[in-house]
Amino acid sequence: MESQKLFDQSHVLWRPPNPSRTRGEYLRRFINHKHGLLLKDYDDLHAYSVKDYTFWLDLWEFLGITSSIPPDPRKILEQGRAPYLPHWFPSARLNYAENLLSRSDDGIAITFARENALAHGNGFENRRIRHVSWRELRIDVAKWAAALRAEGIRFGDRVAIILTNCPTAIALALAVSAVGGILSPTAPDMGIQGILERYKQIRPRLLVAETSSLYAGKFTDLKPKLNEVAVVLKEFGLQKVVLVPGAGSATGERMTNIPLSATFDEFLQGGSRYNGPLTFEQLPFNHPLYILFSSGTSGPPKCIVHSAGGVLLQNKKDCGIGFGMGVDDTYFQFTTTGWMMWPFMLAALSCGTRLIAYDGSPFHPDVKDFLKFISEQRVTVWGTSPRFLTEIHARGIHPLDLASFESLRILFSTGSVLTAPMFEWTQHAFGEGIHIASSSGGTDICSCFVGAVESRPVHSGEIQGKSLGMAVEVFDPEGRNIEHTGVPGELVCTRPHPSLPVGFWGDEDGEKLRKAYFDFYPDVWRQGDFIVLNPRTKGLMILGRSDGVLNPSGVRFGSAEIYAVLDSPPPPYDFTQSIADALCVGQRRARDNDERVLLFLLMRPGHRLTSELKKDVREAIRKALSPRHVPAYIFQVDDIPYTVNSKKIEIAVKQIVSGSNLKPSGTVANPESLRQYYKFYDVESLDENGKQVANRNEKSKF
Ligand SMILES: CC(=O)CC(=O)O
């Protein structure tokens, strides 16, 4: 079977030191005790969790969800507007922020650092790192909530933020939830087009935005952008713009030319007449909490509405059980506010865990300082991306030479595929005792389908297991479950779970949502990821997006398989010093009978893609995978397109090289990079270096 090679590198990388003392195991015993069951391991627990909806009630109790009206055990689910979109816990009343403000002591709730706080300068003690206690956080939330109430923000009102990942953004998010509003976050690096195509759709009543930002040593004045945004959104119901001093601003700065603007101080003063104790609106489980945006690369983004109860229960499950977070933990998720990992990260507060909020580039002024910061802050769970790990690997950095990382329990990798070679490198680079937890989910569900299982070993290249309560299966195109064959297929979820979107904003009859997820397999959620389950280990591998599956001559494989070979080719090859990045897509033009694979390579400075190197790449792929995986063409490119959330954009390139004309959405971080791919439509007319040659009529393979 073609996919057998996928598991060749699968071997145990890490074993849990104390599997029976993990939170997942406590949950299993709790459920056994409560229901008189004999679930004996994670597999049994997972099977129960996707068979009986009572699991979600068990979870509620086990996690200690705070509610003013607890769920009625006789009514966990109620018929929603479609069979696949039920209402969860219809009689319960709760508040998300009340659950997150799980402490009010003087311990640290948030540690905040901007990139310029990390420079060594006068020594570590002088770094400008700010700590916010749980008591202070509660006071800040109370002030924001009072000001929001004074402004008239109430149930269902949309509050948009263009803020960095900082304590102000966190306090405001909790305050919006406390008053029953809906928060819609965007990071300040989003361009005007991206901001407007999001917020014009959801018509926020209030916008809170920073006036400047700092990234990679560069201060940006955001006021001109905010001005344009405010002018347009005023026509779409915006009533106020609150200006928060950013990285390079003076406090209290007044921006009279931005329509509807008020300073941060003025806005908060507006709430002084509400200065009573912080109160939390008690709302239904399905009450909308966030509007997040899907990272489509063309067309307007989908505005995905998530419920307060669903996000709380799922993310507290992921943090509290998947990662076993508690009051002794410190969670550093590297994310901007514009990625679903930001709301995900906030749920750690509900476990009493300290958060690290970081704003800026990890590479500036020096990535070594960034790595030392993680160790010094005694981070126990660090969320990062394969892209970051690959980059420090390529720079020849040895993290253990810089710091001990002795507090680090879990290195959580998400955002894209962590290949087997990168699993290996990361394990050795950060320490043999660290649990490398790769996971996959998405903005669509604001949580994970597959991820960490603390009680199980980690196998190289594999995600440990299906998340509890998630009825994940691998389907073939006809809708048959093929997971036990070890052949890749579509990641589907065959039963509802609480963090299904409440809907898309503005999609009154739910048709857009149905089309997006429930159309391909009627009534079954299709995530659009290409996945395989290793029948021996039960581990999972994501092989790329399923609409990006490579399918030359009927052989189906994922781009991640090619990237893994480039990361770690079989001996004697080594591409890490010469190849910086790669993008692998299928080309299927109307005039072709078959699909061909195109591999685009970004070279490191000072390196060129020579014929010799192409030959080596081909040979390495042939050796590691099979002759049928070898790309038909390999070209050097100047840039690889990425989304603002650091996801490689394969689909747009696939469409371009197959003849589509694409208008990139505001989600593409470097839209100009897409331009160079158009010429590859006529791939036969290009020479070895991708240059147009006249009268080329012979099909050649470079
Ligand atoms: C958990 C995730 O799946 C995050 C992402 O890749 O968007």
Using pLDDT thresholds of 50, 70 and 90, give the confidence band for residue 689. Answer: confident
576 lines ligand 1 (CB under 6 A): no
What is the reported pLDDT for 697?
44
Long-range contacts, stretch 116-123, CB < 8 angstroms, 24+ apart? 116/214, 116/217, 116/247, 116/360, 116/365, 118/365, 118/366, 118/369, 118/370, 118/373, 119/365, 119/366, 119/369, 120/369
CA distance 462 to 423: 9
**3-state SS class at 291:** strand
> How far does the centroid of ligand 1 lie from the alpha carbon of residue 6, in Å?
22
- Please state which of the ranges 27-36, 513-522, 683-692 shows the lowest mean pLDDT: 683-692
Q: Which of 190-194, 277-281, 552-556 reaches the highest mean pLDDT?
A: 277-281
ipTM metric: 0.94
What is the reported pLDDT for 122?
35
What is the reported pLDDT for 593?
72
What is the reported pLDDT for 253?
58
Atom of ligand 1 nearest to the CA of 645: 7
> How far does the centroid of ligand 1 lie from the alpha carbon of residue 99, in Å?
23
What is the reported pLDDT for 256?
67
Using pLDDT thresholds of 50, 70 and 90, give the confidence band for residue 191. Answer: confident
Using pLDDT thresholds of 50, 70 and 90, give the confidence band for residue 254. Answer: low
415 lines ligand 1 (CB under 6 A): yes
List 582's β-bridge partners, or say none.
601
CA distance 38 to 96: 33
Q: Judge whether 428 and 397 are in contact, CB under 8 Å.
A: no
* CA-CA-CA-CA torsion sign (550, 556, 559, 564): negative
Class level of CATH domain 100-114+133-309: alpha beta
Using pLDDT thresholds of 50, 70 and 90, give the confidence band for residue 695. Answer: low
Atom of ligand 1 nearest to the CA of 295: 7
Mean pLDDT, the chain, integer: 92
Summarize the confidence of residues 597-614 as an average pLDDT: 96
pLDDT tens-digit readout, 218-229? 999 999 999 999
Summarize the confidence of residues 29-43 as an average pLDDT: 98
Query: Above pLDDT 70, what percent of the chain?
Result: 95
> How far does the centroid of ligand 1 lie from the alpha carbon of residue 283, in Å?
28
Q: Judge whether 303 and 202 are in contact, CB under 8 Å.
A: yes
CA distance 115 to 370: 8
> How far does the centroid of ligand 1 lie from the alpha carbon of residue 553, in Å?
31
439 lines ligand 1 (CB under 6 A): yes
Buried b (16+ CB within 10 A) or exposed e, 303-336: bbbbbbbbbbbbbbbbbbbbbbbeeebbbbbbbb
pLDDT tens-digit readout, 620-640? 999 888 888 999 999 999 999
CA distances, 282 to each of 72, 93, 497 (Å): 16, 5, 22
> Which one-letter amino acid corresponds to residue 481?
N
Atom of ligand 1 nearest to the CA of 339: 7
> How far does the centroid of ligand 1 lie from the alpha carbon of residue 443, in Å?
7
What is the reported pLDDT for 125?
40
Tokens found for residue 452: 């960490």
What is the reported pLDDT for 193?
85
CA distance 502 to 82: 11
Percent helix, strand, coil in the chain, to 5, is 35, 25, 45
Class level of CATH domain 549-685: alpha beta
pLDDT tens-digit readout, 87-126? 999 999 999 999 999 999 999 999 999 998 876 543 444 3
441 lines ligand 1 (CB under 6 A): yes
In this prediction the pTM is 0.89
- Residue tagged 């331009």 (tokens): 675
What is the reported pLDDT for 555?
79
> How far does the centroid of ligand 1 lie from the alpha carbon of residue 527, in Å?
12
> How far does the centroid of ligand 1 lie from the alpha carbon of residue 253, in Å?
37
Summarize the confidence of residues 193-215 as an average pLDDT: 94
Higher pLDDT: 430 or 627? It is 430
562 lines ligand 1 (CB under 6 A): no
pLDDT tens-digit readout, 337-355? 999 999 999 999 999 999 9
pLDDT of 252 above 60: no
Q: Which of 206, 203, 202 is nearest to 162 (CA)?
A: 206
Using pLDDT thresholds of 50, 70 and 90, give the confidence band for residue 492. Answer: very high
- The residues, ordered by sequence, that sit 6+ positions from 675 with a Cβ below 8 Å of its Cβ are none
**H or E stretch covering 507:** none
Radius of gyration of the chain (CA): 25
What is the reported pLDDT for 296?
61
- Residue tagged 């781009």 (tokens): 559
What is the reported pLDDT for 477?
87
pLDDT tens-digit readout, 148-180? 999 999 999 999 999 999 999 999 999 999 999
Bond prior to 365 in cis (omega within 30° of 0): yes
440 lines ligand 1 (CB under 6 A): yes
Q: Is 205 exposed, middle or buried (0-12, 13-18, 19+ CB in 10 A)?
A: buried
> How far does the centroid of ligand 1 lie from the alpha carbon of residue 335, in Å?
11
CA distance 592 to 699: 13
**H or E stretch covering 236:** none
448 lines ligand 1 (CB under 6 A): yes
Using pLDDT thresholds of 50, 70 and 90, give the confidence band for residue 215. Answer: very high
> Which one-letter amino acid corresponds to residue 116?
N
Q: Pick from 334, 340, 499 the residue to mutate for probing ligand 1's pocket: most ligand atoms within 8 Å of its CB.
A: 340
What is the reported pLDDT for 699?
40
Tokens found for residue 499: 């963090």
Using pLDDT thresholds of 50, 70 and 90, give the confidence band for residue 54. Answer: very high
CA distance 688 to 255: 54
Query: Above pLDDT 90, what percent of the chain?
Result: 78
544 lines ligand 1 (CB under 6 A): no
Domain boundaries, the chain: 100-114+133-309, 549-685
pLDDT of 694 above 60: no
380 lines ligand 1 (CB under 6 A): no
Q: Which of 652, 626, 633 is nearest to 592 (CA)?
A: 633
